Amino acid sequence: MKIVQKALALVGLLSLCLLFINAFQDAPTDENFETKQANDYNVYALQVPEYLNFAGEPMPLQNPDILERMDRELLVNTYWQSNGLLMFKRAKKYFPIIEPILEKYNIPDDFKYLAVIESGLTNAVSPAGAKGFWQIMPATARENGLEVNSNVDERYNLEMATEVACKYLLKAKANLGSWTLAAAAYNAGNAGISRRLRDQKVKGYYDLLLGEETGRYMFRIVALKEILSHPSKYGFNFRDKDLYTSVPTYKVPVDTAVTDFTAFAKTYGINYKILKIHNPWLREPHLNNKSRKQYYIDIPKKGYYN
């Protein structure tokens, strides 16, 4: 009986040793890390690039606090795969609209990623009342010439809203001195960023102690810029045909009231739903237009919805 017990104990000890050896062999090492990554689905730590910038202004990654915060945003946005793929899809559709407007105002191209984190490139609505791709508040919209009411809300017009965002950013850059601070001011306001810089006696965004949202703001922008610029590096695989594309449209000028947009749409061979898809700034099924203002309504070219 003792011999059997000893034999069983020896077998158990050998099994534990084998388990330990196998576990050690399976653990990632410098040599097998890339091979395992290529062949298996696992969650891997990311290497933060040695150099990252926003609008040509370097991120001070030698600072351990900055490095950790950047690492967090890269991880969060890389491993939220469904959202990441949607950003690639929408960027193909909407960046070609945003980019030339940024260029027109001499705003760095990197600011298109600000729209990505503000709204996910959708006509989002915030609890505070900000709306559209650029999350513009009603007062800011009106100050910059946009019409905002229950009948028409031009914050939902991507081209017009992008122009308002550009005007705001140019003022912020002139006031605060850097594009990074101008971007932060888009979230916290010019006065808010100026006050914090003054109170904390520092000159740059990365030296400020900020609340959660504004404190993460620039790191989220730079993370999305890095990921969207290098999809395969972060594990995103797609074909060009998997991405969304814009439906070509032409503009119809309207300087009178429109009593029925369903009937209006029908005259152009589309339905009311399609008219609204291309003109989300039309908030009601009619247009009041008592002032006889000239609007431009986008109508899709034939053959795309048939």
Better pLDDT: 102 or 31: 102
The number of helices, as runs of H, and strands, as runs of E, in the chain is: 12, 4
Distance CA 157, CA 143 (A): 16
* Whether the predicted pLDDT of 12 surpasses 60: no
Summarize pLDDT for 16-52 with one digit per residue, the tens: 443 333 433 444 455 554 554 555 678 889 999 999 9
Summarize pLDDT for 180-205 with one digit per residue, the tens: 999 999 999 999 999 999 999 999 99
- Are 300 and 251 in contact by the 8 Å Cβ rule? The answer is no
Instruction: Write out the CATH class of domain 57-242.
Output: mainly alpha
Better pLDDT: 13 or 279: 279
The CB density around residue 71, as the number of other CB atoms within 10 Å, is 17
Distance CA 45, CA 79 (A): 11
- Are 52 and 70 in contact by the 8 Å Cβ rule? The answer is yes
Q: DSSP class of residue 181?
A: H
Considering only CA atoms, which of 246, 296, 301, 306 is closest in space to residue 268? 301
* Whether the predicted pLDDT of 215 surpasses 80: yes
Summarize pLDDT for 218-237 with one digit per residue, the tens: 999 999 999 999 999 999 99
Residue 159 C-alpha from the chain's centroid: 17
Q: Mean pLDDT, to the nearest integer, of 146-169?
A: 98
Distance CA 169, CA 185 (A): 8
* Whether the predicted pLDDT of 298 surpasses 60: yes
Q: Mean pLDDT, to the nearest integer, of 58-72?
A: 98
What pLDDT does 16 receive? Answer: 40
Backbone angles phi, psi at 166, to 5 degrees: -60, -45
What pLDDT does 61 receive? Answer: 98
What pLDDT does 306 receive? Answer: 74
Q: What is the mean pLDDT of the chain?
A: 90
Concatenate the DSSP letters of all residues of 158-170 into one string: HHHHHHHHHHHHH
Type of residue at 222 = V
What pLDDT does 21 receive? Answer: 37
**């900020």: which residue's tokens?**
210
Distance CA 221, CA 226 (A): 9
What pLDDT does 39 receive? Answer: 58
Q: DSSP class of residue 156?
A: G
- Are 90 and 246 in contact by the 8 Å Cβ rule? The answer is no
Considering only CA atoms, which of 216, 156, 162 is closest in space to residue 184? 216
What pLDDT does 7 receive? Answer: 43
In percent, how much of the chain has pLDDT > 90?
84
Backbone angles phi, psi at 214, to 5 degrees: -70, -30
For the chain, what are the domain ranges? 57-242, 249-300
